[in-house]
Amino acid sequence: MRERAGSRPGGGPWRATAKPDAGPPAEPAPRPGHSAPDATASADRAAPAASRHADHPVLRVSWLPGLTPYEPAWRLQERLARARGEGRLPDLFLLLQHPPVYTVGRSGRDDEILLDPDARRRLGVQVFHIDRGGKVTYHGPGQLVGYGIVDLKNLPGGLKRYVHGLEEALVATLARFGIAAHREDGNVGVWVGREKIAAIGIRVSRGITWHGFALNVAPDLAFFGGIIPCGITDRGVTSMARLLGHAPPLEQVARVAAEELARVLDRQLEWVSDPGWLSAWGGVPESPDLRKVEVRS
């Protein structure tokens, strides 16, 4: 999907996409520059829901502050998925940000990366060929990435219901910030009008999911001009910051998303803001200085 917005990284401007049409009504969307509905107050109202589901399985959602390098996070998912399959962990999500990377899924092609190696090196963008479904996408600062380690054997409806659940949770999250978004049959992800605001790509191994979603909170949208995201060339990309006129705090968005994920998966939310528990599974490295990120061509 060639999602054009802003300037092409390392080059001239792309042709701008049209302003997205209004999606189906959820909650009234604020005009740019005006305040969205109070998501914090909404989060407070939703918090008691976990106690109403005290007899339900736990969904552990772990917030990782700063920037998490891509490859160690990928390997960490592998270890967590193995532990989940052995029953040593509950279903869980890691919510985090990455330094700039392009990831190529199992059906992606190198020629869907339009940014040449020299430009990628100059901009500090890494490229990873990975084991999720889907094609090419971008991750970077200002984007909320959610990695779900979920046992589908315990989820009625299996993979299809899980993917729809991710879409539903993200649509509900955006509604709590005053953005009317929707899912589309045949186009996995979450959309505002004709522009994509969240991508989804999953791997399943022995009934356990890896990878997950990427929600554009306030990333540099120009990086999407360096790829053909999702293999689609005729639609655009957008972000919460672009639609609202300001960037909501990423951790606040993460907390709301966690509540909505627990709701759609019918789980009791266990929110963890200290990533120290991950040390038992290899831990997460310190956030890198973007100027020192190792670049792969």
212-265: pLDDT as tens digits:
999 999 999 988 876 665 545 567 899 999 999 999 999 999 999 999 999 999
Confidence of residue 5 (pLDDT cuts 50, 70, 90): very low
The arithmetic mean of pLDDT across residues 186-203, rounded, is 93
Single-letter amino acid, residue 175 = A
Q: What is the pTM of this model?
A: 0.76
Cα–Cα distance for residue pair 215/172, rounded to 1 Å: 12
Which residues make up each annotated binding site for substrate?
132-139, 199-201, 212-214
- pLDDT exceeds cutoff 60 at 21: no
Backbone angles phi, psi at 291, to 5 degrees: -75, -15
Domain boundaries, the chain: 39-272
Q: Is the separation of the CB atoms in 159 and 136 below 8 Å?
A: no
Long-range contacts at 82-88 (CB < 8 A, ≥ 24 apart): 83/281, 84/149, 84/150, 84/151, 84/208, 85/151, 85/206, 85/207, 85/208
The SS3 call for residue 264 is: helix
Start-to-end Cα distance in the chain: 22
Residue 81, φ and ψ in degrees, nearest 5: -65, -40
Residue 55: pLDDT band with limits 50, 70, 90: low
The size of the chain, in residues, is: 297
The β-bridge relationship of strands 208-216 and 143-149 is antiparallel
- CATH entry 3.30.930.10 includes domain 39-272: yes
**279 given a catalytic annotation:** no
Roughly what angle, to the nearest 10 degrees, separates helices 39-46 and 250-265?
Answer: 30
Annotated binding site: 132-139, 199-201, 212-214
Q: Are 95 and 61 in contact (CB under 8 A)?
A: yes
Of 92, 170, 230, 243, the active-site residue reads 230
- pLDDT of 177: 98
Instruction: Tell me which H or E stretch contains 126.
Output: strand 126-129
Cα–Cα separations (whole angstroms), residue 137 to 2, 28, 81, 153, 199:
10, 30, 22, 28, 8
Contact 46, 205 (CB under 8 A): no
